Structure 1
Amino acid sequence: MPSLVDMKLFTAGMLTGLSEEAARSARLRKNLNVHPVLEDPVQRLFNAMEPGTYARPHRHSRPDGWELMVVVRGAFSVLRFDDHGRVAERVDLRADGGDCAVEIPAGSWHTVVSRLPGTVMFEVKPGPYSPIADKDFAAWAPEEGSADATALVRRLESAQPGDRVVSTGCHS
């Protein structure tokens, strides 16, 4: 039988430190893996995200490519899109009450938008992690680091179902 020493404890101080690292990073986000190796069959991680971070819309195409996102601190929105970049669904999650988790089905175009400083999510998805096969980026969404990406984050913050969030110049 495992002893208490074998348990992993994730403290409030660790999550505060993770949020501080995210705020200092160019990408405005930072993750802390719970799984011990990238080859783990279940990927588990804390993801600290500050307002303004850009997670390029993407999908996980493999049949078991679902993702579970749980708000731990702060607030974020999950947006799901059709194949042309129109918002199909928006879910607002808050740690201080209301909706707290969402599971995204495999093959769904999606992104997250941080709505409060100090936001931390806990994410679970099937592994193993492979940077090449992990996700397909939407051709209609700008690349991370571009001026168009910054503009898209601003549109995503308030986008509602039915809104087209990309201009015709951004999509292929």
Structure 2
Amino acid sequence: MDFDKDFLERLFEQAIESPRLRQSFDLRTSSADSSQRILNALLSGTVVPIHRHLNTSETVICLCGKMDEVIYEESDSNKEVPSLREVQRIRLCPAEARYGCQVPMGAWHTVEVIEPSVIFEAKDGAYAPVTSENVWSYE
């Protein structure tokens, strides 16, 4: 399978039709595959909740577009109501020779899409959905 311009354009077309303004393409060979590899087309305005992966780091490579990977840490300014504070913002933009990053295991993170982008994401281990305790809640 080739990931050429036509393939990425079709992925963007599907993202436009999605209410979430993004579309993923699973690169695993089967549901039993013991790795996580996807292409993800992201449009400006998509909202990816702040989340974390407790058992794996995440490799993100930007194939096209421009976006920021935003890393947070929990703030202990008020121990009764935990909050997050931004600690790193990593610009991903191949046109600027900024190709990718590694999100550390357990780090809270999200993305902010500046221009329509396609990223390759890889994580260790078999796919497991992010659980509610690993999605940041502002309540």
Q: TM-score, normalised by structure 2?
A: 0.87
Aligned mates of 1:87, 1:71 — CA distance in 2: 21
Structure 2 counterpart SS, 1:23 = helix
- The total of aligned residue pairs comes to 131
Structure 1, residues 115-165: CA drift from partner, whole Å, max 9, x if none? Answer: 103x1011111120122659810123xxxxxxxxxxxxxxxxxxxxxxxxx
Would you say 1:14 and 2:7 are equivalent positions?
Answer: yes
Corresponding residue of 1:85: 84
Aligned mates of 2:130, 2:64 — CA distance in 1: 30
| One-letter amino acid matched to 1:123 | E
Mapping of residues 1-172 of structure 1, within 5 Å: 8-62=1-55, 65-83=56-74, 84-117=83-116, 119-131=117-129, 136-140=134-138, 171=139
Q: Per-residue deviation at 1:20?
A: 1.2
Structure 2 counterpart SS, 1:85 = strand
Whether the 8 Å CA contact 2:53–2:130 is kept in 1: the answer is no
Aligned mates of 1:121, 1:132 — CA distance in 2: 19
Q: TM-score, normalised by structure 1?
A: 0.71
Structure 2 counterpart SS, 1:56 = coil
Aligned mates of 1:104, 1:34 — CA distance in 2: 20
Whether the 8 Å CA contact 2:28–2:37 is kept in 1: the answer is yes
Structure 1 counterpart SS, 2:84 = coil
Aligned mates of 2:111, 2:133 — CA distance in 1: 14
Choose 1 or 2 for highest CA Rg.
1
**Tell me, which stretches of 5 or more residues in structure 1 are unaligned?**
1-7, 141-170
| One-letter amino acid matched to 1:110 | H
Identity percentage of aligned residues? 29
| One-letter amino acid matched to 1:125 | K
Aligned mates of 1:33, 1:58 — CA distance in 2: 20
Structure 1 counterpart SS, 2:2 = coil
Whether the 8 Å CA contact 1:40–1:128 is kept in 2: the answer is yes
- Dislocated runs of 4+, deviation >3 Å: 132-135
Q: Give me the CA root mean square deviation.
A: 1.7
Cα 1:39–1:132 shift into 2, 3 Å? farther
